[in-house]
């Protein structure tokens, strides 16, 4: 019997070159390196810094909102509690002319108002008495000395300047 002819009988097998293991190792490192995702730590992201700053601001505002600070109180009369009565009395005596009698009426009880106003008016009138100088007491030499001290030439004075 005759042997059947096969097409594969005429084809000679070729030897296939297979790369070595170093090639595959290098290929995997190259592919991994190309597809590697860069991981940025959370603390280096701008959103983390903005969030942290907003949290700090919120904490400061909330802590100031819930604290009772006695210095913030807007009543100036409470500050007088820190002053002694001697200091207050000395201030009143020194600046009695600067007080407004209408303003004092608001803080003084009505029953003592008349007596206190009389005392205030008497004290302010005695403090503001200006000394009266008569022209008879002024010497001509004193006037000339005054002109020399302030370098005023009496011949350059206008009629309007004489009464100043």
User: Between 96 and 148, where is the model more confident?
Assistant: 148
Indicate if the pLDDT at residue 129 is higher than 70: no
Over residues 67-92, the pLDDT tens digits come to 765 555 567 777 777 888 888 888 88
User: Between 135 and 94, where is the model more confident?
Assistant: 94
Please give the full DSSP string across 34-101, using - where no structure is assigned: HTPPPPPPGGGSHHHHHHHHHHHHHHHHHHHHS---GGG---GGGGGGGS-HHHHHHHHHHTGGGS-H
- Confidence label for 142 from pLDDT (cuts 50, 70 and 90): confident
Provide the 10 A C-beta neighbour count for residue 123: 14
Percentage of the chain modeled with pLDDT above 90 = 12
Point out the least confidently predicted range of 26-35, 43-52, 151-160.
Answer: 151-160
- Confidence label for 25 from pLDDT (cuts 50, 70 and 90): very high
Mean pLDDT of 1-16: 76
Mean pLDDT of 35-45: 83
Q: Residue ranges per domain, the chain?
A: 19-68, 77-127
Q: Which two tokens stand for residue 66?
A: 């819930």
CB of 154 closer than 8 Å to CB of 147 = yes
- Backbone phi and psi for residue 109, each to the nearest 5 degrees, phi listed first: -60, 150
């Amino acid at each position: 019997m005759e042997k059947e002819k096969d097409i594969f009988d005429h084809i000679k097998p070729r030897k296939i070159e297979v790369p070595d293991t170093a090639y595959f190792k290098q290929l995997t490192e190259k592919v991994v390196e190309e597809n590697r995702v860069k991981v940025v730590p959370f603390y280096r992201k701008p959103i983390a810094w903005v969030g942290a700053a907003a949290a700090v601001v919120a904490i400061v505002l909330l802590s100031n909102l819930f604290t009772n600070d006695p210095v913030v109180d807007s009543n100036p009369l409470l500050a007088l509690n820190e002053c002694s009565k001697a200091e207050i009395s000395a201030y009143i005596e020194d600046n009695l002319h600067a007080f407004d009698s209408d303003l004092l009426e608001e803080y003084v009880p009505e029953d003592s108002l008349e007596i206190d106003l009389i005392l205030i008016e008497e004290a302010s009138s005695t403090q503001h008495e200006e000394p009266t100088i008569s022209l008879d007491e002024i010497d001509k030499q004193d006037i000339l000395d005054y002109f020399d001290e302030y370098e005023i030439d009496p011949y350059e004075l206008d009629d309007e300047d004489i009464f100043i």
